[in-house]
Structure 1
Amino acid sequence: MRLQNAWLLFGLLVRLGATTPFDESTLNKRATTFTNPILWEDYPDLDVFRIGDVFYYSSSTFAFSPGAPVLKSYDLVNWTPVSHSVPTLNFGNKYNLNSATDRAYVKGIWASTLRHRASDDQFYWIGCVESSKTFIWTSAGSNAVKNGGEVSTWDWKPKATLNKCYYDCGMLIDDDDTIYVAYGNSKIQVAQLNADGSAEVKSQQVYADPGGAYIEGSRMYKVKGFYYILVTQPASAEWVLKSKSPWGPYEKQILVQSISGPLPNAGYSHQGGIVNTKDDKWYYVAFMDSYPGGRIPVAAPITWTSDGWPQLVKDGSAWGKTYPMPVQTTKTVPPPVGTDNFEGSALSADWEWNHNPDTSKFKLLGGTGGIQLSTATITNDLFTARNTLTHRIIGPKSSGTFRIDISKMADGDRAGAVLFRDVAGYIGIHKSGSNAQLVYVNNLNLGDNWVTSATGTVAATGPALAAGTTDIWLQVRADITPAFSGTSAKRQTTFWYSTDGNKFTQLGTGLDMTNSYTFFTGYRFGLFNFATKALGGVVTIKSFTMQNI
């Protein structure tokens, strides 16, 4: 994925781990400023840090699998996903999407933390799941420090499970190599882990607001001898707690509170982390509630007072739309738009399944590419169908186009391209006997407690597809311009098809997207294939293209 036009060759080299700078004369001059948001995709609850020349970013994924994506950047502005810290959600059987009453929507990975520990050359991921247990995964052997931050291969393995919840946790590896974890809601705690990071040594409360304010989203740092815990007061403010000891006592100042911008009709920028460049310029990276697209990251520089408090650099009283680039470098990452032909032996880190997939029901074909999806579930409920493959939508407006081979669909199968969330719609093929019918289906809804309340209504039909039809192009065009605050507007998605990949025809009317935050995840493009009668049918995704519109 993330390959386009002149970037094609370089993007492939980056995917293979190459980092040799390109000849700058062959591309446009490097930008001197950046524009917020830095990445118009749904990457919430972020945790950012730097190793050498490389910035890393971790995010929430709830029940999507693999979980906890890892992104990298050379300039803190342009990001690409490179791995997932949790390759398989090992949190319980419900994460395998067994049935309509045994599934995990809106559960799973919430705010978690990621760091690299130089002493044992391991990345540590720590996250609390369902407010009960804390899971620890590690990836070793990268030589990241020696390689200037670069990681060519990842080797994530489950390390430990703690029988307590480090809610919304943030990790600090201190100068003496001690691992601390700040966590909690309202009552902020700090835990110390043992030498190999597999168990707790001690934990104590270090802060609670005297006025009783609710706070969460801890991120822990040490800067010039001071310990800092950043916490959010949802969903509008970021506080800074400061102490000379990890155990407190902590003082408090406000970093941002109800700060406007940089996008209209979005929420306030909050709940993030701080990170410095190699020349010690500091930045605060936060997210904005920007539904229907989700929660998207923004960045701004910070300065420090003489007594050690961070201060956000504003544009007047607002979060700036543009700022100077944090890093000038000729290194880059692939852009988020482009075509994925599903070549190679594994999916790129752009992709996540709706729950843990049934690995026996999909196969990358190698050679010229493609991914074969066999039906994995017999159901009439798309939300209960395993192996729905999803991809984040880039804003403000973009299209996702799947080219699929439908020639091996079986009687009763349903396959198609879905705008995936708790209020969903799709364009697809319903197979009945030997007939293959193009359909637009809306009214797929998850209701209270994420129980399916509606399995969909065929709102429009296209032409019947002739016997022997192989490839069909299904396209979803989504407008995820923020409509979360200050407007009652409904952003709309339309659904299109093509039989030649060139001329597209809209099917049905547009789908009004929900601006509700309670599903937390933003809308995604997705491809599904499930059975209503018997397993055995197959579709092959030959390519996926995402582009701005």
Structure 2
Amino acid sequence: APSTFSNPVVWQDFADGDIVRVGDVYYYSASTMHHSPGAPILRSYDLVNWEYAGHSVPRLDFDNAAYDMSGGRAYVKGIWASAFNYRPSNSTYYWLGCTEFNRTYVYTASSVGSTWTKRARLNQCYYDAGLLFDNDIPYVAYGNGTISVAQLSSDLTSQVRAQTVYTTPSSIGTLEGARMYKRGNYYYIWLTRPANGQYVLRSTSPWGPYEQRQVLLDLPGPISGGGVPHQGGLVQTQNGDWWYMAFTDAYPGGRMPTLAPITWSGDWPVLTTVNGRWGASYPRPNLPWRPVASMVGTDNFASLGHQWEWNHNPDTSKFSVGSGLRLSTATVTNDLYSARNTLTRRIQGPSSTATVELDYSQMANGDRAGLAMLRDSSAWIGIRKDNGVTRVSMTNGLTMNTSWATTGTGSEAAGAAVSGGRIWLRVNANIQPGSGRTATFSYSTNGTTFTNLGPAFTLNNAWQFFMGYRFGLFNYATTALGGAVTVNQFAMT
């Protein structure tokens, strides 16, 4: 194995991470907002090479039909900074997160890749929660500006006690993104100042009083054009070393997991910097190297792996896998943002290419199917079928406002007649952080010779949608249900 590693350790969108070690295995849990299944889990053995391992929330079962696109939509709701931990006393993994309506849900599993089960709904919001098991007692640190600690019942279904433990001074601004740890005689609450600082609180009691220290502020990050690494959490290796996994804002692609070593001075954590910044590289953790599955490559949809997440909860009667991904139309709409069963995949940075082989022979009149660059400003390449005629189309101008209501359903920027029932669609996406990044669209009728279609699509790099751009596989009806397509292969290079 090489002697150093480079940041970001994962150049895909995995924000608000919580990181834990169980034995000699590391797990990282992240935010997914409106995507389903939610709260993905990555696995690593060396903190550097990661693979998809599971999802803590199999379906967004949050007592709101908008997650099913019924009577509304749930864009940018759902799963944000949440807690993930392992409890040795019962060999159980826990996920805990607040959704809208001031509700907190608890899911559990016996292993990260097994079926997770909803265990509790607490009718209060543990905002940006961090979960600690201390002598098997569950504590949650949470809050925005005003930081509180709650003790939960042993089964995490009710609150035993809660109190405010720290009020952020106005000179700092706001602190949130809590994680809670015990080291030696001290309890620590790890807090972010979005989006450019990290602070830590320390006390000998979970209930305080807490002292505060600044860990970093305005520290240049390792991604050219990206932001200051912050939020995330701490983990101690089996060798006793400590590491901090933050994320770096890197839009239009999203927020990328970024790793650095931590030392301790007088029982305070100190970030190891390189020439006054978060290192673009560091010496590798002193951990054994083990191979993990690649986060890119080719998928023939023998099954639906954890690299995939739907835009909102899918209609499970309208898709199947096994011999390709079969997508039957699930929604009659002229708005991709309101169509169910769009299957999404994170884009690999700093740039990558997605190619799909699409069988469109069973499309119905009025159907639209293809490959999208999906965010609050979107474009796609795909097949339009109207009056028995199929054409390949590059469509742009799909937009939402900051309330995530659709403001543009798009129009064709370029198109060409095609026939034969099979086509290859390709998007090359540059998600290096900054403005003016573009994606280009092309197609092939033989799988080898590709023709560019339409203008380059400029990606929106504002942060407010939180999720970065994703590749999206879609099929929706504008006239009537009944049509279908099959994605025989998806390849990301």
Match of 2:161 among 186, 202, 227: 202
Q: Which of 401, 407, 418 is the matching residue for 1:465?
A: 418
Residues 352-384 of structure 1 show CA distances to partners (whole Å, capped at 9, x for unaligned) of: 0000000000011x2xx3111000000000000
Q: 1:93 to 1:131 in 2, by over 3 A?
A: closer
Q: 1:119 Cα shift?
A: 1.0
Distance apart, 1:220 and its partner CA: 0.5
TM-superposed deviation, 1:448 = 3.5
- Which position in structure 2 is the counterpart of 1:243? 203
Q: Structure 1: 5+ residue runs without aligned partners?
A: 1-29, 143-150, 484-488
Question: Which of residues 233, 258, 276 is equivalent to 1:317?
Answer: 276
**Aligned counterpart, 2:49:** 78
Q: Distance in 1 between matches of 2:463 and 2:340?
A: 24
1:224 paired residue number: 184
3-state SS, counterpart of residue 266 of structure 1: coil
Match of 1:476 in 2: 427
CA deviations 1:164-209 (Å, max 9, x no partner) are 00000000011x1001000000010001111112111111001112
Residue in structure 1 matched with residue 34 of structure 2 by the alignment: 63
Aligned to 1:136, which of 106, 128, 131?
106
Matches within 5 A, 1:154-165: 154-165=114-125
Tell me the amino acid that sits aligned with residue 428 of structure 2. Answer: R
Counterpart in the other structure of 1:297: 257
**Structure 2 CA distance for aligned equivalents of residues 330 and 446 of structure 1:** 44
**1: CA distance between counterparts of 2:101 and 2:271?**
32
1:420 aligned to 2:374? yes
User: Helix, strand or coil for the counterpart of 2:317?
Assistant: helix
Matched, 1:545 2:481: no
Residues 36 and 131 of structure 1, relative CA distance in 2, 3 Å threshold: farther
Selected match of 1:500 from 427, 443, 446: 446
Structure 2 SS opposite 1:184 = strand
CA offsets 1:106-126 (integer angstroms, 9 cap, x no match): 111110011111111211100
Aligned to 1:511: 457
Partner of residue 125, structure 1: 95
Q: Structure 2: how far apart are the matches of 1:180 and 1:51?
A: 19
Question: What amino acid sits opposite 1:72 in the alignment?
Answer: R
Q: Deviations over 1:31-86 (max 9, x none)?
A: 21100010000000000010111100000000100000011001101111111100
Residue 68 (structure 2) pairs with residue 96 (structure 1)? yes
Name the residue aligned to 2:76. Answer: 106
Aligned residue number for residue 39 of structure 1: 10
Counterpart of 2:149? 190
**Structure-to-structure mapping, 1:517-528, within 5 angstroms:** 517-528=463-474
Pairing 1:340–2:310 present: no
CA offset at residue 330 of structure 1?
A: 3.5
Contact 1:73 1:332 in 2 (8 A): no
Amino acid at match of 1:203: A
Cα deviation, 1:304-335, whole Å, max 9, x if unaligned, reads: 01x20010111021111110111442412112
Is 2:146–2:164's contact at 8 Å kept on the other side of the alignment? yes
**SS of residue paired to 2:35:** coil
User: Counterpart in 1 of 2:388?
Assistant: 434
TM-score, normalised to structure 2's length?
0.98
CA contact (8 A) 2:229 2:258 kept: yes
1:411 and 2:365 matched: yes
Distance 1:495 1:242 in 2: 52
- The 1:436–1:295 alpha-carbon spacing in structure 2 relative to 1, beyond 3 Å, is same
- 8 A Cα contact 1:291 1:522, kept in partner: yes
SS in 1 for 2:144: coil
SS at match of 2:403: helix
Residue equivalent to 1:358: 315
Matched residue type, 1:133: R
Q: CA deviation at 1:131?
A: 5.5
| 8 Å contact kept, 2:58–2:115 | no
* More strand as a share of residues: 2
Contact 1:437 1:465 in 2 (8 A): yes
Structure 2 CA distance for aligned equivalents of residues 171 and 225 of structure 1 = 18
Report the 3-state secondary structure (helix = DSSP H, G, I; strand = E; otherwise coil) of the residue aligned with 1:383: helix
Contact 1:74 1:327 in 2 (8 A): no
Equivalent pairs, count: 491
Runs of at least 4 residues of structure 1 off by over 4 A? Answer: none
Name which of 306, 322, 345 aligns with 1:391.
345
Measure the CA separation in 1 of the matches of 2:234 and 2:374.
32
- Mean CA deviation greater in 332-341 or 510-519: 332-341
The amino acid across from 2:350 in the alignment is P
One-letter amino acid of the counterpart of residue 44, structure 1: A
Q: Residue in 2 aligned with 1:25?
A: none
Aligned amino acid, residue 103 of structure 2: K
CA distance in 1, matches of 2:286, 2:383: 48
Q: Which amino acid aligns with 1:477?
A: N
- For the 8 Å contact 2:442–2:453, the answer to whether it is kept is yes
**Alignment check: 8 A CA contact 2:46 2:289 kept:** no
Q: Distance in 2 between matches of 1:203 and 1:383?
A: 40
The structural deviation recorded for 1:224 is: 1.5
Q: Which moved more, 1:329-338 or 1:106-115?
A: 329-338
CA distance in 2, matches of 1:460, 1:135: 46
The answer on whether the counterparts of 1:239 and 1:254 sit within 8 Å (CA) in structure 2 is yes
SS in 2 for 1:448: coil
Q: Which amino acid aligns with 1:350?
A: Q
Deviation (angstroms), 1:394: 0.5
Distance in 2, matches of 1:515 and 1:382, equals: 20
Distance (Å, rounded) in 1 between the aligned partners of 2:125 and 2:286: 37
Shift of 1:222: 0.6
Deviations 1:439-460 (A, max 9, x none): 0000000013111000001100
- Residues 333-353 of structure 1, C-alpha deviations (whole Å, 9 max, x = no match): 112221011114xx1000000
- The answer (yes or no) to whether the contact 1:410–1:433 under 8 Å persists in 2 is no
Describe the SS at the equivalent of 1:108. Answer: coil
